[in-house]
Structure 1
Amino acid sequence: MNKALAAIVTVAFSTLAAAQMTPVGSWHSFDEKTGELKSLVVISETGGVLTGHIEQLLRKNADPKKLCTECTDDRKDKPVLGMEIIRGAKKAEGKDMWEDGKILDPENGKSYTLRLTPIEDGKKLEVRGSVLFISRTQTWQRVQ
């Protein structure tokens, strides 16, 4: 009986650990230059496709009514708070990586090709945006 219970507990913890190796969840993003807490981004999955939106603006003196004046698509002049900034990312076959999507930087209105990679057992998320041969990577922290 004790062996069966131990096996169940082991499977349960293994499942929880594996579930964390996904971008799905809530994340804190940080300013690349200052390291200041910037926003809370929530990533969800529907039909194997990820989307992410800005749930909260956390920067000191952030304007909750700020609009994406630099955007050039359907998000032009829409509020940054609540804005969908991640679209279309899908899990790469056989890897703990999601790609083929786009990420929007609402500060400059530019969209980048996206790659999301959970690291440190899913506690952090490597967010890589690329245009042509130029890319930048941010590390987001999971919110428990």
Structure 2
Amino acid sequence: MATEDLMRRALSALDEIDGPLSVEVIHRLTELPEVDEPLTVAQVAELLDISPHSLRYYERIGLVSVPRDAAGQRAYSAEAVRRLIFVTRMRLSGMPIRDLQHYVSLVDLGDDTVPERLDMLLEHRDTTRRQIRELTLSLAATEYKIATYGGHTS
């Protein structure tokens, strides 16, 4: 599944980080190879490890705008790829599609919407932190059960 592969790659990148998650570290996690010329659906799908179907879906629901080349094929710019990186990270963190659509529409409206975007991201951060705590508790319960059955925990 593409989401699992994307999560595996993101976690692997996090494992290579020594120290706290600073803004610079986060920028490194979202870096992409130089995009000197527009990319095709297949190239972006491979780069982001998601299906071409997902890319077309994100375009269809307005999360990304992708112009067509002279032959009518999608031509993804570096800006579109950066937006897709953000979208895929937010989807991995559980942000609902309708919230992403609202966020993207706010971005497209310009800088006057920064306060509302910030509020959305703060709320999403709080939700994500709660989910991490809940998962930590679930992991502890699982580790306990493994130990009661004589298994080894890590």
Max Rg structure: 2
Q: TM-score, normalised by structure 1?
A: 0.24
Structure with the higher helix share, 1 or 2: 2
Q: TM-score, normalised by structure 2?
A: 0.23
Structure with the higher strand share, 1 or 2: 1
